[in-house]
Amino acid sequence: MDKRSKITPKYKAYNLSNFQNIPMFKSQPKSIIDAINIVGRVLPFKVNNYIIDELIDWSNIPDDPLYTLVFPRRLMLTDKHYAAVEKLIKKKASETEINFTINEIRKELNPHPSGQHDNVPLLNGKPVSGVQHKYAETLLFFPARGQSCHAYCTFCFRWPQFTKMEGEKFSRSRVDRILEYIRINPSITDILITGGDAMIMNSTVLGIYLNAIIDAKIPHLQNIRIGTKALSYWPYKFIDEPDSDHILRLFEKVNKSGLHLAFMAHLNHPRELKTDAVRKAIIRIRNTGAIIRSQGPILRHINDRPELWVEMWKTQIKLGIIPYYMFVARDTGAHHFFSLPLVKTHKIFYKAYRNISGLGRSIRGPVMSTNPGKIQILGVTKFKSKKVIELIMLQARNKDMVGKPFFAKYNKKATWIDELEPGGGKTKFPFE
Ligand SMILES: *Cc1c(COP(=O)(O)O)cnc(C)c1O
Ligand code: SF4
């Protein structure tokens, strides 16, 4: 790993069609290459030269956590699914036949978890396209040009959208409708620009959105959040690319306008915070007045050890990043490969939480983003001498439910809320 890069390299993307040109692949065993070709047909695959040159430890593949973060691995598909695709490729089946099977497999991988499509709001009786409004305070905005990423995470819950990207065009009138919707909904204090990765956009496109929001001067709108993994996947975006200064000037403009720019960085592993490039990018972003907060899921094979979280949170605090959410891996895609029992995620979380200073304990977790809301696992306790899991809602469609603890029957194996049963003498969860 060369961590001494001084100037921005040219961005180079690799996918199924060209990954074998990556120099490190000249000497890999066939099993590694087959796995990419087969699993990469079902789940989206894209990587770039920063991740290859500066993040992955090539002496330890395929187990290296940063390799696992982006490269398809044999075990990310079940034996049955893997065999089905492998068979078709071996017998050189037609693309139509392969695509049919791939689509059938995708349908079995719960492509739309947590009812994400139920949240599109209405304005004058018509849907406001490109946004979701689930929690009163925060409007999610999915700009058409922000719906891809600098690389794809193997565990991503938005994976279906990368497998068939919509060619929707940017339209200013759409932004105006969104702003009108915000204006008539005084509960909205935050707009969260998300994707994909909002920082895939250049300063011209991002500028149209941000300037429109600034110029609208909506009194109740306070915060612009930008959801991104660019710090880890392409930090040069903020350093010395031709567009970098324009991007940073936009951030500065948001903050000077009186709005708060919250840079929501998706982080999974302490190594992501070690390169010169990421350190420079963090300093430059913070100098604009933006605050960087971190969030990311806990994943088997990537970060299921408390020491890693201690290191991650401590490093974040030192670099001026505020730990925000630790999520539970969603029940989609390669969930069988990444998921951990809820009770175990809680153990890992608290082993780490106990070993950081109060400045890091702004972190909340482990949290499941479910259809009714964000559910945090508080711990294992007893109710009338029976072992139960205690949970609490941090966010809910129905506000009254926020902050009310509730019980589930103890279950050592459950990895998601739908595998839990109500506990503490109740027959229903409060959100049911
Ligand atoms: C997580 C989330 C938010 C933001 O919630 P905060 O707790 O305010 O960070 C907003 N909308 C949706 C749909 C979410 O999942
Ligand atoms: S950066 Fe975010 S949206 Fe993009 S693949 Fe990773 S998790 Fe998914």
In a domain, 362, yes or no: yes
pTM attached to this predicted model: 0.95
How many angstroms separate the alpha carbon of residue 409 from the centre of ligand 2? Answer: 33
Q: What residue's CA is closest to ligand 2, atom 1?
A: 229
Note the pLDDT tens digit of each residue in 357-370: 999 999 999 999 99
In a domain, 133, yes or no: no
How many angstroms separate the alpha carbon of residue 332 from the centre of ligand 2? Answer: 13
Q: Is the CB of 152 under 6 A from ligand 2?
A: yes
Q: Is the CB of 142 under 6 A from ligand 1?
A: no
How many angstroms separate the alpha carbon of residue 27 from the centre of ligand 1? Answer: 44
Which ligand does the CA of 265 lie closest to?
2
**Cα–Cα distance, 394 to 367 (Å, whole number):** 8
Q: What residue's CA is closest to ligand 2, atom 8?
A: 156
Q: Is the CB of 149 under 6 A from ligand 2?
A: yes
Fill in the amino acid letter for 186: P
**Cα–Cα distance, 389 to 427 (Å, whole number):** 15
The residue-averaged pLDDT of 292-311 equals 98
In this structure, the strands spanning 386-396 and 405-409 are antiparallel
Q: In which band, very low, low, confident or very high, does the pLDDT at 336 lie, cut at 50, 70 and 90?
A: very high
Task: At 285, list the tokens.
Answer: 């972003």
Q: What residue's CA is closest to ligand 2, atom 5?
A: 152
pLDDT the model gives residue 172: 62
What residues contact 173, with CB distance under 8 A and at least 6 apart? none
Dihedral pair phi/psi, residue 48, rounded to 5°:
-135, 175
What residues contact 122, with CB distance under 8 A and at least 6 apart? 128
Note the pLDDT tens digit of each residue in 44-63: 999 999 999 999 999 999 99
In a domain, 250, yes or no: no
Note the pLDDT tens digit of each residue in 164-201: 644 444 556 688 999 999 999 999 999 999 988 999 99
Q: Is the CB of 149 under 6 A from ligand 1?
A: no
Per-residue HEC secondary structure of 335-389 comes to HHHHCCCHHHHHHHHHHHHCCCCHHHCCCEEEEEECCCEEEEEEEEEEECCEEEE
Cis peptide, bond prior to residue 333, ω within 30 of zero: no
Dihedral pair phi/psi, residue 170, rounded to 5°:
-65, 140
Q: Is the CB of 196 under 6 A from ligand 2?
A: yes
Note the Cα 142 to chain centre separation in Å.
14
Q: Is the CB of 230 under 6 A from ligand 1?
A: no
Which ligand does the CA of 117 lie closest to?
1
In this structure, the strands spanning 190-193 and 126-127 are unpaired
| Residue after which a domain boundary falls, among 108, 134, 156 | 108
DSSP string over 59-115: GGTTT-HHHHHHS--GGGS-HHHHHHHHHHHHTT--HHHHHHHHHHHHHHT-SSGGG
pLDDT the model gives residue 112: 81
Note the pLDDT tens digit of each residue in 367-420: 999 999 999 999 999 999 999 999 999 999 989 999 999 999 999 999 999 999
Instruction: Give the up-direction half-sphere exposure of residue 185: CA atoms within 13 A in the CB hemisphere.
Output: 22
**Cα–Cα distance, 230 to 265 (Å, whole number):** 8
CB crowding 237-262: b at 16 or more within 10 Å, else e: bbbebeebeebbebbebbbebebbbb
Q: In which band, very low, low, confident or very high, does the pLDDT at 129 lie, cut at 50, 70 and 90?
A: confident
In a domain, 431, yes or no: yes
How many angstroms separate the alpha carbon of residue 367 from the centre of ligand 1? Answer: 11
Q: What residue's CA is closest to ligand 1, atom 15?
A: 369
How many angstroms separate the alpha carbon of residue 88 from the centre of ligand 1? Answer: 41
The residue-averaged pLDDT of 327-343 equals 95
How many angstroms separate the alpha carbon of residue 258 from the centre of ligand 2? Answer: 29
pLDDT the model gives residue 234: 98
The total number of structural domains in the chain stands at 2
Q: What residue's CA is closest to ligand 1, atom 10?
A: 138
pLDDT the model gives residue 4: 45
Q: Is the CB of 158 under 6 A from ligand 2?
A: yes
Atom of ligand 2 nearest to the CA of 148: 4
Cis peptide, bond prior to residue 235, ω within 30 of zero: no
In a domain, 225, yes or no: no
Note the pLDDT tens digit of each residue in 4-44: 445 789 999 999 999 999 999 998 999 999 999 999 999 99
Pocket probe mutation, ligand 2, options 43, 48, 76, 156, max atoms within 8 Å of Cβ: 156
Q: What residue's CA is closest to ligand 2, atom 6?
A: 153
Atom of ligand 2 nearest to the CA of 155: 7
pLDDT the model gives residue 167: 43
Atom of ligand 1 nearest to the CA of 132: 13
| Residue after which a domain boundary falls, among 108, 134, 160 | 108
Residue-number span of the structural domain to which 97 is assigned = 13-108
How many angstroms separate the alpha carbon of residue 376 from the centre of ligand 1? Answer: 13
Note the pLDDT tens digit of each residue in 86-128: 999 999 999 999 999 999 999 999 888 766 567 889 999 999 9
In a domain, 247, yes or no: no
| Residue after which a domain boundary falls, among 108, 131, 152 | 108
How many angstroms separate the alpha carbon of residue 417 from the centre of ligand 1? Answer: 18
**Cα–Cα distance, 87 to 22 (Å, whole number):** 26
Are residues 134 and 397 in contact, defined by beta-carbon separation less than 8 angstroms? yes
Are residues 39 and 83 in contact, defined by beta-carbon separation less than 8 angstroms? no
In a domain, 399, yes or no: yes
Which ligand does the CA of 189 lie closest to?
1
State percent of the chain over pLDDT 70. 95
Are residues 413 and 384 in contact, defined by beta-carbon separation less than 8 angstroms? no
pLDDT the model gives residue 3: 46
**Cα–Cα distance, 200 to 186 (Å, whole number):** 30
Name the residue among 126, 191, 194, 120 with its Cα closest to residue 161: 194
Note the pLDDT tens digit of each residue in 249-295: 999 999 999 999 999 999 999 999 999 999 999 999 999 999 999 99
pLDDT the model gives residue 271: 98
Q: Is 266 helix (H, G, I), strand (E, B) or coil?
A: strand
In a domain, 220, yes or no: no
